[in-house]
Structure 1
Amino acid sequence: MSDQVQRAKEVFGARLREIRKDAGISGRQLAVESGMHFTKVSRLENGRQNPSEDDVRSWCAACGADDQCANLVATLRGIEGMWVEWQRHLKGGLGYLQKTFDRFHEEASTVRSYESIVVPGILQTSDYASAVLEIAHDFYGGKGDVEGAVDVRLARQRFLHQGRQSFLFVVEYWALQTRFGDVEVMRGQLERLLAVTTFPSVSLGVIPPDVVRSMWPGEGVWIFDAKAAVIETTTAELTVTQPSEISLFLRSFDRLQGHAVFGAEARMLIRRAIEELG
């Protein structure tokens, strides 16, 4: 994971070098124009030192590249907040980990979520959430009780009813088949999804298993307006804020949404998954 962060810094440094070379000035000239020490210029270009936002603005001003400044600052912010290690999060307990996710919902007007193997957290029942979070507690050895974390996750459902936000969900059919908990837990969760399809602020699409795809299944992602995308991996929570990357997530979501069925057809698939429970 640290190698990926370092690679991102090196790519950013290479971009700074390209801007300097395009301006036709040397590293020492840029140092004079920007007020930096010339050794700092080298460290930034080689990804050995983290630039500040002021450094980026000074760099762009010295190179006559003010039009690129906003995009570079957004990229820098994305690198700085890109990886949040689970173990560091878990020091505060599973409940704390859940609360840190609320801030994204509070600030967004449109929330998009794609999940391939699990029901989105904000749509989970208490029993289903308990089964999912028990796995996380066991795997990561986090502090705090699972019950408290479940309460925080369920409290997030308030956003579904406040009427201030629109929620667009897309789930793969096999997410309805992947079992967390026993048959009764799964039946309760699927019946909950049937109810969710009637919420005025919610669009819930299910991708049928036999659809001919124009977009591959991907990792679960939450997209908050066009400002941030959050992806959870086994080792980290990745927060993307770079506009060009978010546009790719939005494009991917649109394609996956195009594979999904909604309304009565989605409810038919959910009932089919209930019947498959036996």
Structure 2
Amino acid sequence: MPTHPSSSIQQAREALAARLREIRLDSGQSAREVAAACGWHESKCSRVQSGKQALTDSDIKAWCAACGADEQTAAELITASRQLDSAYVEWQRMQRGGLKRLQEAVLPLWERTEAFLIYEPGVVPGFFQTHGYACALLDRIAEFFSIPGGSEEAAIARVERQRLLYSGVHRFAVVIEEAVLRTRIGGPDIMAGQLGHLLDVMALPSVSFGIIPFSADRAMWPVEGFWLLDNEQVVIETVSAKITIEQAGELDLYRRTFAELSSIAVHGAAARALVTAAITAL
């Protein structure tokens, strides 16, 4: 099985493999003995312990039974394995229904979420995009991934989510890099409209908006964009996949990361000054 394209998911997979190896060592059995008890070739046992073997529920049950581990341990490991399987969803599979469906699919999750912590290093977060900006971005995504049509409808669906900003139920803490303001999506007119819209939404009571200036002394380096939802899950979008993380240790790591990034961001008048300067530069 190839190395996972997400380092976070790969590390979790390797941690699961290490736990299985610990269970074997605690049992006092060799890898050959466990493989024989499970009815496997010894090479499969080696792959399991290195995190290179895709695991089924029955594989984990067989391993735990061979090593004398209790049923609760097996159940916990199966749950962890299933979370890994569902955490990584290839974009191509999600995009088969078109860009509009992809936008609509996440709406129930957004509606359930009350507290959003959002960090974006490269683009304006979807909740704050204008129709022109969203359409230009989604049109390029459709072209890049060869997704037929639908960018106009998808942009409308994305912008429609902004009603959540005004519901009084949801809270948004956002940090972006200043590079977001200077990266032109759709040309100068579209960018001018987008930046002007940012000035409007930054004033909403439901929104805390921070910008990390180019000139900031970096106490925290730029990382991948992520959304932390109600302190229960992190959603990351890479070029190839959408990744969902729910492990407690990793959630804490992203909370700390957001706090560090927020601490070096400017807010209020200083943030608005950066947006205004970006508009002037157009």
Q: Which range, TM-score by smaller chain?
A: 0.7 to 0.9
Match of 2:243 among 232, 238, 247: 238
Aligned to 1:4: 4
The aligned runs of 1:140-151 (5 Å cut-off) are: 140-151=145-156
Aligned twin of 1:22: 26
Aligned partner letter, 2:69: C
Give the Å deviation of 1:226. Answer: 2.3
Report the alpha carbon displacement of residue 221 of structure 1 after superposing the two structures with TM.
Answer: 1.1
Q: After TM superposition, which residue ranges in structure 1, 4 or more long, deviate above 6 angstroms? A: 26-31
The offset of 1:54, in angstroms, is 11
Code of the aligned partner of 2:20: L
2:69 aligned residue (63, 76, 93): 63
1:11 and 1:124 mapped to 2: Cα distance?
38
Aligned 1:112-123 pairs, distance under 5 A: 112-123=117-128
Counterpart CA distance in 1 for 2:269 and 2:141 is 34
- 1:88-115 C-alpha deviation (Å, 9 max, x unpaired): 1221101122123324323322111111
1:162 aligns with 2:167: yes
1:1-278 equivalences in 2 (<5 Å)? 2-4=2-4, 9=13, 11-22=15-26, 24=28, 37=38, 39=40, 42=45, 44-45=48-49, 47-52=52-57, 55=60, 59=64, 62-63=68-69, 72=77, 75-277=80-282
Amino acid at match of 1:241: E
Q: Report Cα offsets for 1:100-154 as digits up to 9, x if no partner.
A: 3324323322111111111001100000101111110110011341111111111
SS in structure 2 at match of 1:81: helix
Unaligned runs of 5+ in 2: none
- What is the CA–CA distance in structure 2 between the aligned matches of 1:176 and 1:215, rounded to whole Å? 20
Distance in structure 1 (CA, Å) of the matches to 2:108 and 2:64: 32
Q: TM-score, normalised by structure 2?
A: 0.83
- Structure 2 residue identity aligned to 1:3: T
**Structure 1, gaps ≥5 residues long:** none
Q: Which amino acid aligns with 1:190?
A: L
**Structure 1, 106-115 or 96-105: larger mean CA deviation:** 96-105
Mapped to 1, the partners of 2:21 and 2:153 lie a distance apart of 49
Please tell me whether the aligned partners of residues 113 and 221 of structure 1 are also in contact (alpha carbons under 8 angstroms): yes
The alignment's TM-score, normalised by the length of structure 1, stands at: 0.84
Q: Alpha carbons of 1:266 and 1:49: their partners in 2 closer, same or farther (altered >3 Å)?
A: closer
2:147 and 2:176 map into 1 onto residues whose CA distance is 28
* TM superposition shift of 1:203: 0.7
Give RMSD over aligned pairs. Answer: 3.2
State the identity as a percent: 38
